Amino acid sequence: MTTARSLCLRSLSKSYMPGQNAVDGIDLDIRPGEFISFLGPSGSGKTTTLMMIAGFERPTAGEISIAGRQIDAVAPYDRNIGMVFQNYALFPHMSVAQNVGFPLRMRRTARAEADRKIATALAMVGLADFAGRAPKALSGGQQQRVALARALVFEPDLVLLDEPLGALDKTLREQMQVELKRIHRELGVTMIYVTHDQTEAMAMSDRIAVFNHGRIEQVGTPAEVYFAPRTRFVASFIGDSNLFDGRTGADGVVDLGPLGPIATGRRDLAPGQSVSVLVRPETIRISAQTPAASDERRLLTIEETVNYGDSFLVLGKSGGRDIRIRVPSIDMPDLPRGAQCAFDWTASRAHVIGA
């Protein structure tokens, strides 16, 4: 078992051009043994932050500490951090075993012990028989596992993964996600995982840090960022969403204009504020009958339905607003385009943003 270490980022910034910050004042405490994802679109600063932790970029401001020890001035080769690169970066002129053994060689590990560790690492990633192969003779998935073994063999304080599954096809990616989680569980080492794929982040992480324009908009468990996003960006980046603008009234009731009021249960909200209300598409129900005359706010005109096999995405309009609804296939009524139907949502599962 490796000793899990914590990582602390304080006011971390990086700018390449004056006035433009690629990373803008990041504060983050990563717990020992945690699997945390840096999630965000391209250019959001997640990879730059990772590079600063690894030591390949110098921060313009701020500090990085591992287990309380500041490492800003430490060169990358002395940081004892494992890293899996996006393109694996395996040494083409060395065999698999030599690749995996490289960090041990740098640490002057004795031959016998090094061989033992290499064998263990390769076994852990399921490549025990591949020691003598050349990297270019391996498939993408196998190369990725070698890169992982190489990053873990020297029992680092921390492991950084820079979109490692990006080049793999869907089935393989899902397999590797499970593998990575298993290895994380077995080793208990702190892992930082950079990705732009939110389903991946949701599936694998203990916590997710959502990056946007060089800042972290929210850090939380998958459930937290999914059900209680703090900003519109987080709400729309993770999962499918409906974001309705409205005005707060009394007792936590928000007036959504043509869509009517929604009782969010947020009595702490002062009235008269502009907010956005997040309603996840799967919390909206539709029924084939048209609503009663008094309830015309719940009338939906269907524009498009998309069949995903296990569920349907229904795109419609109500009161001039676009609405997205997810319906399990077994519950899906037979409704053609242009048809009208009733819809309703569970107000208690709606979430208010921006108050």
Partner 1 sequence: MALQLTDTTAPATAAPRRVPGGWTFFVRAPFILYAPAAMFLAAFFLVPLGLVVWTSVSEPELGLGNYAEFFASTYDLGVLARTFRTALIVTLASLVFAYPVAYVAARKGGMIGAFLLGVVALSFWTSFLVRTYAWMVILGARGPVVGLLVALGVEPAPQLLFTTFAATFAMAHMLVPFMVLALYAVMRRIDETHMRAAASLGARPWRAFATVYLPQSLPGVLNGATLVFITCLGFYVTPTLIGSPQDKMIAGRIGQEMEQLLEFGAASATSMILLAAALALFALYDRFFGIERMWR
Partner 2 sequence: MTMSRSTLVLAVLVVVLLAGPMFIVVPMSFSTAPSLEFPPPGYWLGYYRRVFSDPNWTGPIINSFLIGLGTMVLSMLLGVPASFALARHQFRLRAVFRIIVLMPLIVPHIVMALGYYTYFGSLGLVQSMPGVILAHACLSIPVVVLTVTSALANFDRRVEQAAANLGARPLTTFRLITFPILRPAFLVAALFAFIHSFDETVIAIFISGRDSATLPRQMYNSFQMEADPAISAASSLLLAAVLAVIGARWAAALVKARSKPIGASP
Q: Which residues bind partner 2 (CB under 8 A)?
A: 54-56, 75-83, 85, 87, 89-93, 102-103, 106-107, 133, 136-142, 150, 154, 172
The nearest distance, CB 173 to partner 1, in angstroms, is: 10
By C-beta, is 41 or 328 nearer to partner 1? Answer: 41
Contact (Cβ atoms closer than 8 angstroms) between residue 211 and residue 46: yes
Could you say which of partner 2, partner 1, none residue 93 binds, taking C-beta under 5 to 8 angstroms by partner kind?
partner 2
Among 2, 65, 120, 236, which residue sits at the site for partner 1 (rule: CB under 8 A)? 236
The nearest distance, CB 250 to partner 1, in angstroms, is: 26
Binding segment for partner 1 (CB under 8 A), chosen from 131-139, 241-249, 325-333, 339-347, is: 241-249
Under the criterion CB under 8 A, does residue 258 sit at the interface with partner 1? no
Could you say which of partner 1, partner 2, none residue 103 binds, taking C-beta under 5 to 8 angstroms by partner kind?
partner 2
First to last CA, the chain: 45
By C-beta, is 149 or 300 nearer to partner 2? Answer: 149
Could you say which of partner 1, partner 2, none residue 167 binds, taking C-beta under 5 to 8 angstroms by partner kind?
partner 1
The nearest distance, CB 176 to partner 2, in angstroms, is: 10
Strands 321-328 and 253-255, bridge-based pairing: unpaired
Could you say which of partner 1, partner 2, none residue 70 binds, taking C-beta under 5 to 8 angstroms by partner kind?
none
Q: In the numeric block, which tokens belong to residue 271? A: 């009235």
Q: Among 297, 341, 339, which Cα is nearest to 321's?
A: 297
Q: Site residues for partner 1, window 170-189 (CB under 8 A)?
A: none
Contacts with 170 (C-beta within 8 Å, 6 or more apart), sequence order: none
Please work out, in degrees rounded to the nearest 5, the angle formed at the alpha carbon of residue 306 by the alpha carbons of 302 and 310.
125
Could you say which of partner 2, partner 1, none residue 288 binds, taking C-beta under 5 to 8 angstroms by partner kind?
none
By C-beta, is 60 or 340 nearer to partner 1? Answer: 60
The nearest distance, CB 82 to partner 2, in angstroms, is: 8
Contact (Cβ atoms closer than 8 angstroms) between residue 242 and residue 281: yes
Could you say which of partner 2, partner 1, none residue 237 binds, taking C-beta under 5 to 8 angstroms by partner kind?
partner 1
Binding mask 283-322 for partner 1 (x = CB under 8 A): --------------------------------------xx
By C-beta, is 106 or 178 nearer to partner 2? Answer: 106
Under the criterion CB under 8 A, does residue 24 sit at the interface with partner 1? no
By C-beta, is 57 or 217 nearer to partner 1? Answer: 57
The nearest distance, CB 139 to partner 2, in angstroms, is: 5
HEC string for the chain:
CCCCCCEEEEEEEEEEECCEEEEEEEEEEECCCCEEEEECCCCCCHHHHHHHHHCCCCCCEEEEEECCEECCCCCHHHCCEEEECCCCCCCCCCCHHHHHHHHHHHCCCCHHHHHHHHHHHHHHCCCHHHCCCCHHHCCHHHHHHHHHHHHHCCCCCEEEEECCCCCCCHHHHHHHHHHHHHHHHHHCCEEEEEECCHHHHHHHCCEEEEEECCEEEEEECHHHHHHCCCCHHHHHHCCCCEEEEEEECHHHEEECHHHCEEECCCCCCCCCCEEEEEECHHHEEEECCCCCHHHHHHEEEEEEEEECCCEEEEEEEECCEEEEEEEEHHHCCCCCCCCEEEEEECHHHCEEECC
Could you say which of partner 2, partner 1, none residue 243 binds, taking C-beta under 5 to 8 angstroms by partner kind?
partner 1
Under the criterion CB under 8 A, does residue 241 sit at the interface with partner 1? yes
Site residues (vs partner 1, CB under 8 A): 16, 41-42, 47, 51, 55-58, 75-76, 86-87, 163, 166-167, 196-199, 232, 235-243, 276, 321-322, 324
